[in-house]
Amino acid sequence: MSAHLEADPRGVIQCCPGCGTANRIAYARLGQQGRCGTCKADLPQVAGPVEAADIQAFAALLSQSSLPVVIDFWAPWCGPCQMMAPEFAKAAAQAAGEALFVKVNTDEQPEIAGQFRVQGIPAFALVRQGRVAAQSSGFQPAARLLAWMRQA
């Protein structure tokens, strides 16, 4: 499981476990089996939280993702957010290929938090086919977060 994945306006950047080459997986192909561009090995499903680096990448991700997107709104100074981080990563690993888990640092991306009317953190949003399907807040163990995602 990768601890830190990044997204750009065209997809998620994931390193090949075989040769280490960075590969871009287009948002529209996230649920499909990918291959490394260098060694042609199968790439694993995205199994870790993806950092939303900027608003353009985030907007592309939401509009193009073939998978539901679970968003964690957090900040580095927030104690409950720090406690939530390993649970969010565990949920991301357990839902690999089923949903994409994205982290939005509200200090660095306040405009994204504003779009979702985030008032307190940690907060979560579930986006399916570009639309907000559900929102929640507060610490949640991975099992509860996954149950919430699957029910919404």
Q: Hey, which residues are catalytic here? A: 78, 81
Q: What is the Cα–Cα distance from 118 to 48, expressed in whole angstroms?
A: 23
Burial of 67 (0-12, 13-18, 19+ CB in 10 A): buried
Measured CA to CA, the distance from residue 141 to residue 148 in angstroms comes to 11
- ∠ CA 46-25-30, rounded to 5°: 55
CA distances from 137 to 25, 42, 71, 117, 149 (A): 29, 36, 11, 12, 13
